[in-house]
Chains A and B, each alone.
Chain A
Amino acid sequence: MSSDTREFPWGEFTRRDRAWHPPAFTPPYKTSVLRSPGKALVSLRQSIGERTGPVFGHGDLDPLDNDLIRNYITTGGEAIGERIIVHGRVVDEMGRPVKGSLVEVWQANAGGRYRHGNDRYLAPLDPNFGGCGRCVTDDDGRYFFRTIKPGPYPWMNHNSDWRPSHIHFSLFGNAFAQRLVTQMYFEGDPLIPLCPIIGTIRDKAAVDMLVAKLDMNEMVPFDSLVYRFDIVLRGRRSTFFENRPEGN
């Protein structure tokens, strides 16, 4: 397709604010020391492969994928723990809903233990909890899933550091440039200011974006508490004048 001169019908995405995201090299989070690039990132204009991304639909999902209380039952009953629903909207930096984005989540169980061979924490596994879920945002960018509140756990960093309760999130948006993996924390958790991984983020306002708020208006009476976690992905810029060739 070397003769292809079609123009991209979609704008470029805004620049990523690298001072807002955590830097790669963050010594208090020790593992980053040997895993952080030492050279500057190379600026790359976004071409078609960065402005597009894989498409996922409801056909890719199992009906229980967004119900972590019930999607890993092995001995009967349901997962043990504080029943919660997490919901929110995925929007871009311009405030527009991001439709059809795959949202993947994973987490520890109520005791702070992951169902993973590398997790040696002494808290027991819950036979009815896997800790894996996913959903796709609707036309308004909304998503929700049901789970149990994960427990905090100790980890090898500065001897026994403690992770606050958290849920891992993976988002695709609609283009590879919007790809984002992050973690959600819970309002009021006293471990948040002590966490070296949260501490990789320099701006407190950025940390606050990762803290889900208790949403009492949406709580399910006599069933579940609800937390609201809105997510912002990079925004697509306007194309005021059609794509002109680069200066070079």
Chain B
Amino acid sequence: MPVPYLKETPSQTGGPYVHIGCLPHFAGLNLRTQEKLHVLAGGGVPGERIRIEGVVWDGSGHPLRDVMLELWQADSTGTYNAPGFRGWGRVGADPQTGLWGFETVRPGATPWIDGRPQAPHCSLLLFARGINIHLHTRIYFDDRPEANAADPALLSIELVNRRQTLIATRQAGGQGGSEVPTFRFDVHLQGEKETVFFDC
């Protein structure tokens, strides 16, 4: 007789109206009007303030304008669930352009399974109509090349040229003249530039 484990509840797409439940004010509801889940770090959070933005592209090169994304990261010292910094954010893509952005602090290095450091990174989940089970990827930063070169997760990607798909590129100047460093992270669901998605 097999060991009696339960099966995980199967996933279903978040659908086109995912915003109603997850970002109700963004969806146009008069609910949680003060909520700004794309801002992970308020004024009092220590660390280097950064902005991460991008577009998710479908297999025909069109932006996903209805995608919802979630970010999960350590604080600037590499601690998850640090007091005063939940480290989790959520955003809906712009309904016209598909652009999305998070305001946060640069995460610190975190330990790999064997204690080796992982390069600073954020976990990113994608939910959208047409995506039957959410996609899981990571965002690294191109101005930390040495840390990235030694990162155990990046190194575990066998196809070397695909590692680059997880590295956000620092934009010249700040966005709109601001001093906040802005990193661009486009996600490609298909094609030659297809982003690495993880099974983990």
Once bound together, how far apart are the Cα atoms of A95 and B120, in whole Å?
35
Interface residues of A in 140-186 (CB under 8 A from B): 168, 170, 176-177, 179-183
Q: CB-defined interface of A121-132 with B at 8 Å, one 1/0 digit per residue? A: 000000000111
Inter-chain CA distance A71–B24, complex, in Å, is 12
Question: Which residues on B sit within 8 Å (CB–CB) of A233?
Answer: 8-9
Residues in B with CB closer than 8 Å to A134 are 21
Q: State the majority secondary structure of interface residues on B.
A: loop
Q: A20-B8, A116-B16 are in contact. Are A47 and B112 (CB under 8 A)?
A: yes
Contact call B64/A35, Cβ cutoff below 8 A: yes
Number of chain B residues close to chain A: CB under 8 A: 80
Residues of B within 8 A of A5 (CB): 111, 115
Q: Does A246 contact B (CB under 8 A)?
A: yes
Known: A4-B117, A34-B130. A50 touches B8 (CB 8 A): no
**Which DSSP category, helix, strand, loop or mixed, fits chain A's interface?**
loop
B23–chain A nearest beta-carbon distance, Å = 10
Contacts A26-B132, A34-B59, A50-B123 known; list 4 others, CB within 8 Å. A4-B115, A37-B190, A93-B6, A243-B113
Residues in chain A within 8 A of chain B (CB atoms): 1-8, 16-18, 20-24, 26, 29-39, 41-50, 52-55, 71-72, 74, 91-95, 104-106, 114-119, 130-134, 168, 170, 176-177, 179-183, 197-198, 200-201, 205-207, 209-210, 231-235, 243, 245-246
5 A–B contact pairs at CB < 8 A? Answer: A47-B118, A47-B153, A54-B88, A55-B86, A118-B17
